[in-house]
């Protein structure tokens, strides 16, 4: 591919970037821009003019006190300049509105740049004085023509005026801040201009550039006006050493009167660098021609590095745009298309909800969240339910009993254990209560005495029932919180899914008119089932639990004896094996002879055995009979194809008729998608041909 064809491709690429910026993709792009900065505006302008071949002289004695962004585009014929002002952050809202009204005259062209800049100064309210100060506004000028290079120039205000001591500190601070802001931008290619007419020690632009580009990958320093130095002077020697420094890689040029023709200036420069000490500089780093060539190489490298990321960004934008169009659906002007649109939503709702409930996360809905925060927790519904059920079981274990019964050798939770416990779900308002077994047995004795009946001693069913009901009192509250928590997760899942499957207008109507009422029915059924499951907790006597109950009671006694033995062993390591065996035999005998135990101790053991068996049944019932049967099971059926078929035409129209803004949004998205796809094809082609292209030395030439 020749250079002319490359320039044509590059023009298309930059035009595409402009279009992408117009549709809001700017933040993801790194459009290359040539930032020209230094101490003297006259030198910067002369270099810009030499590179671009257009007159950019503003005023030989006074610099532009604001940033100028010059966008150059190649076009078949010259067109009028487009001019605009981007207000700086220091402007008030009223000033912003006034500055945004600035524009170029219809007949303005490149010969009227100075007039435009002066008009911009007036609009910005900058005084035409010796020290006008620096504005943080940006003047953007867009030029096009058949001989324009495809570039964006940024001309920054002077960092300081070494010969002008009247410039105030605020202006210097603003100029430095603007310079650093542009230099640190990774898309900026920095042209750092150093004038040989300024004292050697007063040059600081290279230090500022090195702060943000230490490897000098996108910085090119240029020394100007070398021909003005006195031959053999210390100043000439200093600048010669600077230009010869291989590490800095500076470029050397001469600047004669702008009245000289380009070919005459090129001839004078060639003669200057062929004599004296300057003939020892490498030819690659002297003259305007080689400067254009070096800038071309840097620009090419920058584009080559940025293009793959830019392509990835555009592909993401295409995917997002296609998703939005899919949610909007096709145009639906009549009842048949409106019903079909709702049927498509309901069909996908059933399918994806079924996947979520079965833990089969195959649909794209479950991945690619694009920065939506914690929404993945709500989308992966089965995983969420499993985790919350485990939290529920742990909470029931920790706080299910109103009072924790402490055996003689047990201790309450430590402060660290308590702090860790209350940080878990369903534990936020827990304050543990403890009771020793001895005190509890005393309470049982007192109750037995006060409620003595015709029953045999030790068979006080009422006491056992009261004790169990007191211990299990927290169950209902924990289960209710768990059920409502699951319901909230389900509700969030449904909202996310409908927003994924339809446009915002339709999803809002479906939620308010159809879905929310169905979700409320599921919540009512869930809480009704909880009431049913907790009814037995309020009965007078515990329910019989079959032949396993005596065994559980014996196990409870045995465990208590073994716990006491372990505590003794932990305190006294000198206990012999014979003593341990004797203790175990005693524990076994105590288990086999419950008649030796006190009546109150038996009641406590029976209550603990019944509690241990019943809490497992209760948790299983909450999960299976409540959450699974009353909430998750019916979830697939709250919005089905049959639901749509049962709707009247009026209901269908209310839900699926397109408002005008939806039609407009579809048209805009379709237009954006076309631009994105066209740009992607161009950039992929550009990415293929760029590595093999040799950048010529005709950068900026006609």
Q: State whether 189 and 175 are in the same domain.
A: no
Count how many domains the chain has: 3
Q: Does any domain span residue 626? A: yes
Run of H or E residues at 220: strand 219-224
Most confident region among 54-68, 256-270, 295-309 by mean pLDDT: 295-309
Q: Does any domain span residue 682? A: no
What are the b/e assignments for 147-172, b being 16+ CB within 10 Å?
Answer: ebbbbbbbbbbbbbbbeeeebeeebe
- pLDDT for residue 60 is more than 60: no
Residue predicted with more confidence, 608 or 497: 497
Run of H or E residues at 565: helix 548-571
Q: Average pLDDT of the chain? A: 78
Q: Which tokens belong to 484? A: 């409502």
Considering the chain, what percentage of its residues have pLDDT values greater than 70?
72
307-356 pLDDT tens trace: 787 788 888 888 888 888 888 878 888 999 999 999 999 999 999 999 99
- pLDDT for residue 606 is more than 90: no
Q: State whether 156 and 207 are in the same domain.
A: no
Do the beta carbons of residue 364 and residue 500 sit within 8 Å? Answer: no
What is the rounded CA–CA span in Å between residue 244 and residue 209?
A: 19
- Mean pLDDT, to the nearest integer, of 655-682? 85
What is the rounded CA–CA span in Å between residue 183 and residue 217?
A: 12
Q: State whether 173 and 207 are in the same domain.
A: no
Half-sphere exposure of 78 (CA within 13 A, CB side): 10
Q: Return the ∠ at Cα 662 (arms to 661 and 664), rounded to 5°.
A: 60
pLDDT band at 216 (very low <50, low <70, confident <90, very high): confident
What is the rounded CA–CA span in Å between residue 638 and residue 513?
A: 12
Q: Does any domain span residue 409? A: yes
Do the beta carbons of residue 673 and residue 322 sit within 8 Å? Answer: yes
Q: Does any domain span residue 203? A: yes
Last residue of a domain, which of 164, 183, 202? 183
Q: Does any domain span residue 350? A: no
Q: Could you tell me the residue range of the domain that residue 51 belongs to?
A: 36-183
Q: Which tokens belong to 505? A: 């207008």
What is the rounded CA–CA span in Å between residue 700 and residue 147?
A: 8
535-564 pLDDT tens trace: 877 765 665 555 454 555 555 555 655 555
- pLDDT for residue 23 is more than 60: no
Run of H or E residues at 50: helix 41-52
- Mean pLDDT, to the nearest integer, of 66-75? 80
Identify any residues that bridge with 38 across adjacent strands, giving them in sequence order.
193
Q: By CB neighbour count within 10 A (0-12 exposed, 13-18 middle, 19+ buried), where does 112 fall? A: middle
- Mean pLDDT, to the nearest integer, of 383-393? 94
Q: State whether 256 and 159 are in the same domain.
A: no
Last residue of a domain, which of 152, 167, 183? 183
DSSP code of residue 214: T
3-state secondary structure of 101: coil
List of E strands, 555-653: none
Q: Does any domain span residue 405? A: yes
DSSP code of residue 624: I
Do the beta carbons of residue 338 and residue 633 sit within 8 Å? Answer: no
CATH for 122: 3.40.50.300
pTM for the model stands at 0.54
Q: State whether 178 and 189 are in the same domain.
A: no
The reported pLDDT for the residue numbered 372 is: 46
Q: Does any domain span residue 663? A: no
The reported pLDDT for the residue numbered 635 is: 95
Q: State whether 97 and 154 are in the same domain.
A: yes
Q: State whether 523 and 384 are in the same domain.
A: yes
CA 688 from chain center: how many Å? 31
What is the rounded CA–CA span in Å between residue 341 and residue 653?
A: 11
DSSP 571-583: H-TT--HHHHHHH
- Flag the least confident range among 71-75, 433-437, 665-669: 71-75
Considering the chain, what percentage of its residues have pLDDT values greater than 90?
21
What are the b/e assignments for 86-107, b being 16+ CB within 10 Å?
Answer: ebbeebeeeeeebbeebebeee
Q: By CB neighbour count within 10 A (0-12 exposed, 13-18 middle, 19+ buried), where does 667 fall? A: exposed
Run of H or E residues at 551: helix 548-571
- Mean pLDDT, to the nearest integer, of 360-370? 77
What is the rounded CA–CA span in Å between residue 597 and residue 26?
A: 82
Nearest 10 degrees: Cα torsion 588, 589, 590, 596: 170
What is the rounded CA–CA span in Å between residue 53 and residue 626?
A: 80
Q: State whether 98 and 247 are in the same domain.
A: no
What is the rounded CA–CA span in Å between residue 510 and residue 269?
A: 76
Last residue of a domain, which of 618, 644, 670? 644
Q: State whether 165 and 259 are in the same domain.
A: no
What is the rounded CA–CA span in Å between residue 410 and residue 421?
A: 18
Q: Does any domain span residue 602? A: yes
Q: State whether 172 and 121 are in the same domain.
A: yes
Q: State whether 163 and 242 are in the same domain.
A: no
Q: State whether 179 and 195 are in the same domain.
A: no
> What's the per-residue H, E or C state across 466-517?
HHHHHHCCCHHHHHHHHHHHHHHHHHHHHHHHHHHHCCHHHHHHHHHHHHHH
């Amino acid at each position: 591919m020749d250079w002319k064809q490359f320039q044509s491709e590059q023009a298309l690429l930059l035009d595409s970037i402009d279009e992408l910026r117009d549709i809001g993709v700017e933040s993801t792009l790194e459009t290359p821009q040539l930032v020209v900065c230094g101490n003297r505006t006259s030198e910067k302008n002369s270099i810009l003019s030499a590179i671009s071949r257009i007159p950019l002289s503003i005023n030989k004695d006074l610099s532009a006190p604001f940033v100028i962004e010059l966008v150059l585009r190649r076009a078949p014929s010259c067109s009028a300049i487009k001019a605009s002002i981007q207000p700086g952050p220091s402007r008030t809202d009223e000033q912003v509105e006034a500055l945004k009204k600035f524009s170029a005259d219809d007949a303005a062209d490149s010969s009227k740049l100075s007039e435009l800049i002066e008009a911009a100064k007036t609009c910005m309210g900058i005084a035409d004085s010796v020290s006008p100060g620096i504005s943080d506004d940006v003047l953007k000028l867009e030029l096009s023509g058949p001989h324009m290079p495809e570039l964006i120039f940024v001309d920054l205000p002077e960092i300081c005026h070494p010969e002008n001591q009247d410039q105030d500190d605020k202006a210097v601070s603003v100029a430095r801040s603007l310079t650093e802001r542009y230099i640190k931008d990774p898309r900026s290619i920095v042209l750092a201009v150093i004038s040989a007419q300024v004292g050697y020690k007063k040059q600081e632009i290279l230090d500022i550039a090195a702060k943000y580009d230490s490897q000098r990958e996108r910085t090119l320093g240029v020394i100007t006006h070398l021909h003005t130095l006195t031959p053999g002077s210390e100043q000439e020697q200093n600048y010669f050493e600077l230009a010869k420094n291989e590490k800095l890689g500076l470029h050397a040029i001469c600047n004669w009167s702008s009245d000289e023709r380009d070919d005459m200036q090129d001839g004078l420069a060639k003669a200057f660098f062929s004599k004296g000490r300057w003939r020892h500089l490498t030819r690659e780093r002297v003259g305007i021609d080689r400067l254009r060539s070096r800038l071309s190489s840097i620009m090419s490298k920058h584009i080559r590095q940025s293009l793959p990321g830019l392509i990835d960004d555009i592909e993401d934008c295409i995917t997002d745009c296609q998703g939005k169009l899919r949610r909007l659906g096709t145009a639906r002007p009549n009842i048949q298309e409106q019903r079909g649109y709702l049927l498509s939503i309901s069909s996908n709702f059933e399918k994806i909800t079924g996947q979520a409930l079965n833990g089969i996360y195959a649909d794209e809905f479950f991945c690619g969240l694009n920065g939506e925060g914690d929404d993945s927790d709500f989308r992966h519904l089965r995983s969420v339910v499993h985790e919350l059920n485990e939290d529920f079981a742990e909470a029931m274990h920790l706080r299910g009993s109103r009072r924790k019964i402490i055996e003689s050798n047990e201790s309450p939770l430590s402060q660290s254990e308590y702090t860790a416990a209350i940080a878990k779900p369903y534990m936020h308002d827990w304050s543990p209560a403890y009771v020793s077994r001895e005190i509890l047995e005393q309470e049982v004795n007192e109750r037995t005495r006060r409620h003595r009946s015709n029953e045999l001693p030790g068979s006080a069913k009422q006491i056992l029932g009261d004790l169990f009901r007191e211990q299990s009192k927290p169950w209902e509250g924990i289960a209710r919180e768990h059920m409502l928590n699951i319901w909230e997760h389900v509700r969030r899942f449904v909202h996310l899914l409908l927003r994924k499957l339809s446009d915002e207008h339709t999803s809002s109507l479906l939620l308010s008119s159809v879905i929310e009422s169905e979700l409320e029915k599921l919540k009512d059924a869930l809480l009704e089932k909880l009431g049913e499951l907790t009814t037995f907790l309020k009965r007078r006597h515990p329910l019989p639990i079959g032949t396993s109950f005596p065994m559980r009671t014996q196990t409870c006694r045995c465990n208590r004896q073994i716990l006491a033995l372990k505590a003794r062993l932990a305190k006294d390591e000198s206990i012999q094996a014979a003593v341990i065996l004797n203790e175990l035999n005693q524990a076994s005998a105590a288990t086999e002879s419950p008649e030796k135990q006190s009546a109150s101790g038996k009641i406590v053991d029976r209550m603990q055995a019944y509690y241990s068996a019943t809490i497992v049944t209760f948790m299983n019932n909450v999960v299976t009979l409540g959450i699974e049967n009353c909430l998750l099971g019916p979830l697939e059926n709250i919005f089905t194809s049959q639901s749509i078929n049962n709707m009247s035409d009026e209901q269908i129209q209310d839900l699926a008729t397109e408002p005008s803004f939806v039609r407009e949004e579809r048209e805009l998205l379709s237009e954006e998608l076309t631009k994105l796809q066209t740009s992607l094809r161009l950039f992929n082609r550009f990415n293929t041909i760029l590595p093999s292209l040799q950048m010529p030395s005709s950068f900026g030439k006609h």
